[in-house]
Amino acid sequence: MPEVLTPEKLSTFTVALIGNPNVGKTTIFNRLTGLRQKVGNYPGVTVDKRYASLKIGNQSATIIDLPGTYSIYPNSEDEVIVHRVLNGLDKTSKPDFVLAVVDMSSMERGLFLVTQIMDLGLPMAVVLNMSDTAEEQGIKVKTHQLYKALGVPVIQTNARSNKGISGITDLIGDQMFEQPASFLESDRLLPEQLSTAIQERFSLTNSYQAYQLIRFHDKEPILSHEESEWLRQEIKGADFDIKSKQLQETQDRYAAIQQVLETVVEKTDMKKKRLTDKLDRIFLHKVGGYAIFLGILLMIFQAVFAWSAMPMDLIDGFFASLSASVAGLLPEGVLTDLITEGIIPGIGGVVIFIPQIALLFAFLGILEDTGYMSRVVFLMDRVMRPFGLNGKSVVPLISGIACAIPGIMATRNIGNWKDRLITIMVTPLMSCSARLPVYVILIGIAVPATNIGPFNLQALVMLGMYLLGVIAVLVTAWVLKLVLNFKERSYLMVEMPLFRVPRWKDVLITMYSKSKTFVFEAGKVILAISIVLWVLASYGPSGAREEAIAAVEVPADGASEEVMLDYQHNLESAELESSYIGIAGQFIEPAIRPLGYDWKIGIALITSFAAREVFVSTMATLYSVGSEVEDELTIQEKLKSEVNPNTGEAVFNLATAISLMVFYAFAMQCMSTLAVVYRETKGWKWPLIQTIYMTVLAYVSAFIAYQLFS
Amino acid sequence: MRTADTIQQGEVAIIDKILPSELTLNLMEMGFLPGKRISLLQRAPLKDPMAFRLGNTVIALRKTEAQLIEVILEN
């Protein structure tokens, strides 16, 4: 008899990973989920939410990786997310279960967060991670005792060596999470009457939730006006002061944890000096520390340029020949033109970034993963302070070299608003990877590849462009510090984790997922613009095009090949000039002429206001329109040979190229950055101010550059 | 009473009290609690911030934050 298969309903649930910073949460997440990860946004905010679906048996679990936090009372924006998720304020990501990760060698602090989550009443389990370092330091934990004390399952792991990971998978698969009893007695938190009243009114299930509501009711727009008014009256009536209560809670909680730890932790005193301490003597050295930091930065640049040159050339060549072969394959017509002259060069202009971006992200991932980034924060804090920045600003700024968007999102762990805002405002001035191809092309055109001493002149100019960005960051930050009058206290509290060997697999995962996000996000914009641009360049107001073509002098029969080529060129030029985009370019030409640009560059300026990388694809489109694609000329060679038909001189001379590079270094030409700044600053004020100051800075500096070099 | 910013390299101190300020809670949440041993590990090149050893962790604080931590030197 055939077996009857009854389709089982796939049960789905969500598990949130929570823990202090640097306890190995992300390693566990990567071990559990591998390449299945997706990056999304938390509703209403732009911080990356990493999540992945995991199939275990006939169940499907969604695992969410939350930002590291020391308590459920948020200090920085990063931590607000944890608070929101735990309290179900983000309906879509409310977890069914919590997996709390604790560093086994600093359990006291880890359990502080764990017991807070326990008091919230969420079903949970505890992972004691980094058992190897704990053992090195003579720390042993009686897991079963801890289970008895807390009432939630406890697993010991060492995620780096994969030890205990299968235990976590089993635990998730069997849903062995347990809802613990409250850790702190509720009468220590709230007067019973007040607690009961609040629980009834807002249908909460325990005292700690009521306590949380009091703590956050004015920060979260979750309550109606009437509700928060009622709450205020109740608090006042009970004569309840949340601030002093919270200090009391903190002390009581630590005291209770101390009692638990006395029974579960065995510690033998090891006098061994930690390797990390020895390494810190080198990496944090007065002089040596900075030399190493500078050396690492230089090495990254060197690698990003040298190692990526070859794959980039290959990609460039590949798209040029792809365009040519597609043109040969498809029948001639409008659609073919759109594909070969608009879409393929447009996409090629994005794809060519992949090697550089992937490398940059890989290096940043390694710096972060080894624990070196927080040393940079330590080294740079005092240096950055006079500029209104802070040690933590260095991380967003360095990330900004890859892309301003992750950089601006990284400002979320800067606790105070003033430092954070200034960092957000200046981060887009760092020369991001989207500027790179613009620099590469223009330097290639205008700067000779000669050597000055041991240095290559082109490389020096490139370095100069990056330094220009850094100088602009510091000066602008300093000006903003003077202008913005905030009273808020600036502070720095940062933990320096143990130095570690980077987890190469994790670096690869980061590299892959970040590059993918970048390419697809940028790709969408570029593809859309490429198509619009091609249409606008191929069509013009009726009549204007015909007139322009008619105005070009037709050479006599039997004219030399040179004359015929010239005619061809003039014809293309006239066609483009009379197209919609040509008209737009000419419209702004008077405004950009003092900077040394013609109307074609004007077109590129207009289109690249959405994204800088569009400059290259615009150039590719503009200079392919109507011309033969079979010759497989790359963009750089095409631009180099571009001659102004009126003066007969090269369009891209040194002055124009430098001026254009300076313009691209400073102008706010990135819609995505604007969108992120809008969301991070919760309004249009700051993105607007940012756009204006950057555009003015770009125009004035480009003007000065042009005058200096021409 | 000495505060943590005066600890010299090689000295070990016991935290006596965290002075009231808007950062008190943050410091306590990170583990700066009365009764804990604390020592200075490194001073940044321009003397500020300072890296303190607290239990098995190392935490960097600026001088102004270290001044919120009252300590008693051991011995």
Q: In three state form, how does the secondary structure of A327-364 look?
A: HHHCCCCHHHHHHHHHHHHHHHHHHCCHHHHHHHHHHH
pLDDT score, position A521 = 67
When mean pLDDT is compared across A48-52, A270-274, A330-334, the lowest value belongs to A270-274
Taking the CA of residue A265 and the nearest CA in chain B, the distance in Å comes to 14
- For A547, residues 6+ apart whose C-beta sits below 8 A from its C-beta are A578
Backbone phi, psi, residue A4, to 5°:
-90, 120
- For A258, residues 6+ apart whose C-beta sits below 8 A from its C-beta are A108
- Tokens standing for A253? 């909680």
Contact present, A472 and A432 (Cβ < 8 Å) = no
**A250: chain B residues, CB-CB within 8 Å:** 25, 28-29
pLDDT tens track for B34-69: 888 999 988 887 788 999 999 888 999 999 999 999
pLDDT score, position A414 = 83
Q: Exposed e or buried b for every residue in A311-332, given b needs 16+ CB within 10 A?
A: ebeebbeebbebbbeebeeeee
Task: Tell me the residues of chain B between 2 and 21 that have a Cβ less than 8 Å away from chain A.
Answer: none
Banded pLDDT at A618 (limits 50, 70, 90): confident
Cis previous bond, B49, omega within 30:
yes
pLDDT tens track for A665-674: 999 988 778 8
Is it the case that residue B19 has pLDDT exceeding 60? Answer: yes
- Tokens standing for A700? 């004035």
Segment A608-618 shows an average pLDDT of 75
Q: How many CB atoms lie within 10 A of CB A515?
A: 21
Is it the case that residue A527 has pLDDT exceeding 70? Answer: yes
When mean pLDDT is compared across A165-169, A426-430, A647-651, the lowest value belongs to A647-651
- Single-letter code of the amino acid located at B21: S
Enumerate long-range contacts of A631-640, CB under 8 Å, 24 or more apart. Answer: A632/A317, A632/A320, A632/A321, A632/A324, A633/A320, A634/A316, A634/A317, A634/A320, A635/A316, A635/A345, A635/A441, A636/A441, A636/A444, A636/A445, A639/A441, A639/A445, A640/A444, A640/A445
ipTM computed for the complex: 0.93
Tokens 């409310």 sit on residue? A94
Q: How many CB atoms lie within 10 A of CB A416?
A: 17
- Single-letter code of the amino acid located at A426: V
- Comparing CA positions, the residue from A401, A400, A419 lying closest to residue A410 is A400
Is it the case that residue A413 has pLDDT exceeding 70? Answer: yes
Per the model's pLDDT, the better-predicted residue between A571 and B65 turns out to be B65
**A110: chain B residues, CB-CB within 8 Å:** none
Cross-chain residue pair B62–A492, CB shorter than 8 Å: yes
**B45: chain A residues, CB-CB within 8 Å:** 284-287, 289-290, 379, 382
Mutate to test the interface with B, among A278, A293, A373, A491 (most CBs of B within 10 A): A491
Cross-chain residue pair B44–A382, CB shorter than 8 Å: yes
Point out which residues pair with A265 in neighbouring strands. Answer: A141
- For A607, residues 6+ apart whose C-beta sits below 8 A from its C-beta are A529, A533, A614, A615, A618
Segment A346-365 shows an average pLDDT of 78
When mean pLDDT is compared across A254-258, A448-452, A504-508, A647-651, the lowest value belongs to A647-651
State chain A's mean pLDDT as an integer: 82
- Tokens standing for A175? 């849903």
Residue A296 CA from chain centroid, whole number: 21
Backbone phi, psi, residue A11, to 5°:
-85, 135
Q: Exposed e or buried b for every residue in A544-557, given b needs 16+ CB within 10 A?
A: ebeebeeebeeeee
When mean pLDDT is compared across A260-264, A560-564, A602-606, the lowest value belongs to A560-564
Q: By a Cβ cutoff of 8 Å, what residues of chain A touch chain B? A: 70-71, 73, 75, 105-106, 108-109, 112, 137, 139, 246-247, 250-251, 254, 276-277, 280-281, 284-287, 289-290, 374, 377-379, 381-383, 391, 415, 489, 491-496
Gap between the Cα atoms of A666 and A432, Å rounded: 11
Cross-chain residue pair A493–B45, CB shorter than 8 Å: no
DSSP-assigned states of every residue in A564-623: HHHHHHHHHHHHHHTSHHHHHHHHHHHHHGGGT--HHHHHHHHHTTSBTTHHHHHHHHHH
Point out which residues pair with A102 in neighbouring strands. Answer: A128
When mean pLDDT is compared across A557-566, A667-676, B11-20, the lowest value belongs to A557-566
Gap between the Cα atoms of A678 and A634, Å rounded: 37
Q: How many CB atoms lie within 10 A of CB A461?
A: 17
Task: Tell me the residues of chain B between 19 and 48 that have a Cβ less than 8 Å away from chain A.
Answer: 22-31, 33, 41-42, 44-48
Q: How far is CA A379 from CA A194, A294, A394, B41, in A?
A: 48, 12, 10, 14
Per the model's pLDDT, the better-predicted residue between B38 and A445 turns out to be B38
- Single-letter code of the amino acid located at A581: I
Contact present, A395 and A371 (Cβ < 8 Å) = no
Mutate to test the interface with A, among B29, B46, B67 (most CBs of A within 10 A): B29
- Comparing CA positions, the residue from B35, B29, B31 lying closest to residue B15 is B35
